[in-house]
C-alpha cells in the first residue's frame, strides 16, 4: 500500500482562490508549456492500461490504469477543487462510488441512519446488498435533525443524507446534522447530486464525505455513467483509494474526458436549469390539475429559508402531484412531446418520469406512501431549453 500512495493527488488548494466558474474551466487542466510538452489546452484521453518502468523495484509516475490514469486524475483534481475538497476519487457509476465508500468504512454489525427519502437504488443497495453482509440501515425523516439524533445506536457509524432528496425535494439541515455527527465521531455522508457543487458544498457545511452521481449534472449531457467521492481527510482518502484500487470500479479514460468537458459549462448550465425550474414550478403551482408542487425555490416550500441558508440556488429538479389516478398521470406523461419520458436527470434536455413505476419501483409501496411518493407523483428534470416551449408542452399535455 505504501507504494500505491506515492501516487496521492496533489493538494487542490492552490486553485481554491479562484471563482467557481474559473475552476470549472481550468482546475486539474493547467496547460503544460515545459520543454517537450505539447501545450495542448484540452486534457488528452490517455488509453494506456500499463506504464513502463526503468527499475524493477520502482515504478515511474504511473504504474497501471486501475491505480492511476492521467485523464481520471485531471478529473479528480477538478472535482475536488469544485467541492472545496482536498481529495477526489472518480468511479464507474454513482452506485460504484457508494459501494466503495460503504466497503471502506463499514463492517458486519455496523448501522447507518439514512434519510427516509433517498434515490431508490441507494435504498436497494442498503437493503438488498449490504444487509446480506450484516450492515443495518434505519430510515428517518431527516428534515428534523432531532429525529436523526434519536435514531443513533451504539453501533451507528454513519449518517447518510441527500439534500434535496430524490424525488420529494426535502432538505436536511446539513450544519445541524454535522454538529450531531461530529460530537460522536460519526461519518456524515451527503449525496450532493441534485445541486452540484455550483449550488451547495456540503464539506464546507461540516460533512465528511460528498457522494455524486457524475451521470447527472456533472457530466451534464446524458452520455456518461460515473460517480465520485470527495473528502478532506487524508487518512480517509488513503483508505478510499486503497479500496478503489482493490475493488476496481474506476471511471474509464473516455468517460473521464467527457466529464471534464461537461464540467467546464457547469456554472452556466446550473444557472439556466434553476431559472427554468423556478418558472415551471410557479406555472404548475397555479395549474388547476396539479395538487402539490415540490421545489425548494418556491416560497411555499416548507424549507425555503433553509434552502437559501445552505445553498446558493435550488437546482433543476422538481416534482408535483397531478390530481386523479395513476392512469391519469401515465396519460399526461405519454402525451408530452418535448419532455422525454425517461429515468435519470441533470442533462441539458428535459426529462420526466413517474417515480412509483420507474426510479423508485424498487422501494416497497407501503414505504413509498409513508414518505409521500404517491402513484401520481411526477418528477421533472428541467433542461436548458427555452422555458416557454417547455411550459407550452406541459400545457397541452395537462389540457
Site residues, ligand P1T (CB under 6 A) = 93-95, 119, 121-122, 162, 166, 191, 193, 213, 215, 225, 227, 343-345, 359
The three grid cell numbers given for residue 128, joined into one nine-digit string: 438488498
Main-chain phi, psi angles of 136, to 5 degrees: -110, 145
Main-chain phi, psi angles of 237, to 5 degrees: -60, -45
Q: Which residue's CB is nearer to ligand P1T, number 193 or number 200?
A: 193
Give 196's contacts (C-beta < 8 A, 6+ positions apart): 212, 216, 217, 218, 266, 270, 315, 346
Q: Which residue's CB is nearer to ligand P1T, number 15 or number 350?
A: 350
Contact predicate 27/15, CB 8 Å: yes
Burial of 272 (0-12, 13-18, 19+ CB in 10 A): middle
Report in angstroms how near the CB of residue 214 gets to ligand P1T at its nearest: 7
The yes-or-no answer on residue 183 being catalytic is no
The yes-or-no answer on residue 119 being catalytic is yes
Report in angstroms how near the CB of residue 75 gets to ligand P1T at its nearest: 15
Report in angstroms how near the CB of residue 191 gets to ligand P1T at its nearest: 5
Instruction: Point out the residue whose Cβ comes nearest to ligand P1T.
Output: 94
Report in angstroms how near the CB of residue 366 gets to ligand P1T at its nearest: 21
Tally of CB atoms within 10 A around 160: 24
Residue closest to 237 by CA, chosen among 83, 132, 112 = 83
The yes-or-no answer on residue 78 being catalytic is no
Burial of 67 (0-12, 13-18, 19+ CB in 10 A): middle
Contact predicate 81/16, CB 8 Å: yes
Give 54's contacts (C-beta < 8 A, 6+ positions apart): 60
Q: Which residue's CB is nearer to ligand P1T, number 313 or number 346?
A: 346
Report in angstroms how near the CB of residue 109 gets to ligand P1T at its nearest: 25
Q: Report CA 277 to chain centroid distance, whole Å.
A: 18
Report in angstroms how near the CB of residue 213 gets to ligand P1T at its nearest: 3
What is the distance between the alpha carbons of residues 398 and 58, in angstroms, rounded to a whole number? 66
Q: Which residue's CB is nearer to ligand P1T, number 59 or number 355?
A: 355
The three grid cell numbers given for residue 22, joined into one nine-digit string: 474559473
The yes-or-no answer on residue 66 being catalytic is yes
Q: Which residue's CB is nearer to ligand P1T, number 110 or number 162?
A: 162
Q: Tell me which H or E stretch contains 258.
A: helix 253-263
Report in angstroms how near the CB of residue 55 gets to ligand P1T at its nearest: 39
Active-site hit among 110, 173, 191, 393: 191
Q: Which residue's CB is nearer to ligand P1T, number 189 or number 390?
A: 189
Main-chain phi, psi angles of 238, to 5 degrees: -65, -40
The per-residue DSSP string of 262-288 comes to: HHTTHHHHHHHHHHHHHHHHHHHHT-T
Active-site hit among 62, 119, 139, 237: 119
Q: Which residue's CB is nearer to ligand P1T, number 15 or number 163?
A: 163
Q: Which residue's CB is nearer to ligand P1T, number 28 or number 167?
A: 167
Q: How many CA atoms lie within 13 A of 357 on its CB side?
A: 14
Report in angstroms how near the CB of residue 330 gets to ligand P1T at its nearest: 17
What is the distance between the alpha carbons of residues 211 and 160, in angstroms, rounded to a whole number? 10
Active-site hit among 64, 66, 175, 261: 66
What is the distance between the alpha carbons of residues 318 and 283, in angstroms, rounded to a whole number? 12
Contact predicate 148/118, CB 8 Å: no
Residue closest to 76 by CA, chosen among 231, 243, 207 = 231
Catalytic residues: 66, 119, 191, 216
Amino acid at each position: 500500500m505504501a507504494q500505491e500512495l506515492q501516487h496521492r493527488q496533489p493538494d487542490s488548494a492552490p486553485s481554491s482562490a479562484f471563482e467557481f466558474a474559473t475552476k470549472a474551466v481550468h482546475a486539474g487542466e493547467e496547460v503544460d508549456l515545459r520543454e517537450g510538452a505539447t501545450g495542448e489546452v484540452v486534457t488528452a484521453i490517455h488509453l494506456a492500461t500499463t506504464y513502463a518502468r526503468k527499475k524493477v523495484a520502482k515504478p515511474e509516475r504511473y504504474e497501471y490504469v486501475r491505480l492511476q490514469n492521467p485523464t481520471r486524475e485531471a478529473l479528480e483534481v477538478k472535482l475536488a477543487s469544485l467541492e472545496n475538497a482536498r481529495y477526489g476519487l472518480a468511479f464507474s457509476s454513482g452506485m460504484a462510488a457508494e459501494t466503495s465508500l460503504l466497503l471502506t468504512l463499514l463492517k458486519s454489525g455496523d448501522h447507518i441512519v439514512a434519510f427516509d427519502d433517498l434515490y431508490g437504488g441507494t435504498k436497494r443497495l442498503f437493503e438488498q446488498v449490504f444487509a446480506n453482509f450484516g450492515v443495518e440501515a434505519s430510515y428517518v425523516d431527516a428534515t428534523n435533525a432531532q429525529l436523526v439524533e434519536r435514531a443513533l445506536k451504539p453501533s451507528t457509524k454513519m449518517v447518510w443524507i441527500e439534500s434535496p432528496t430524490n424525488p420529494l425535494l426535502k432538505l436536511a439541515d446539513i450544519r445541524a446534522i454535522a454538529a450531531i455527527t461530529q460530537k460522536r465521531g460519526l461519518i456524515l455522508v451527503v449525496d450532493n447530486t441534485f445541486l452540484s457543487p455550483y449550488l451547495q458544498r456540503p464539506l464546507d457545511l461540516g460533512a465528511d464525505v460528498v457522494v455524486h452521481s457524475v451521470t447527472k449534472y456533472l457530466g451534464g449531457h446524458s452520455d456518461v455513467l460515473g460517480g465520485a467521492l470527495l473528502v478532506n481527510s487524508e487518512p480517509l482518502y488513503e483508505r478510499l483509494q486503497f479500496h478503489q484500487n482493490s475493488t476496481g470500479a474506476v471511471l474509464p479514460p473516455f468517460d473521464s474526458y467527457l466529464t471534464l468537458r461537461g464540467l467546464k459549462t457547469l456554472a452556466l448550465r446550473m444557472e439556466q436549469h434553476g431559472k427554468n425550474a423556478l418558472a415551471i414550478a410557479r406555472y404548475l403551482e397555479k395549474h388547476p390539475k396539479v395538487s402539490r408542487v415540490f421545489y425548494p425555490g418556491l416560497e411555499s416550500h416548507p424549507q425555503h429559508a433553509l434552502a437559501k441558508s445552505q445553498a446558493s440556488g435550488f437546482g433543476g429538479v422538481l416534482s408535483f402531484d397531478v390530481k386523479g389516478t395513476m392512469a391519469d398521470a401515465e396519460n399526461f406523461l405519454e402525451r408530452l412531446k418535448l419532455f422525454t419520458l425517461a429515468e435519470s436527470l441533470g442533462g441539458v434536455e428535459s426529462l420526466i418520469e413517474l417515480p412509483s413505476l420507474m426510479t423508485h419501483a424498487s422501494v416497497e409501496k407501503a414505504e413509498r406512501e409513508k414518505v409521500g411518493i404517491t402513484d401520481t407523483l411526477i418528477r421533472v428534470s428541467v433542461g436548458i431549453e427555452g422555458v416557454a416551449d417547455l411550459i407550452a408542452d406541459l400545457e397541452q399535455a395537462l389540457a
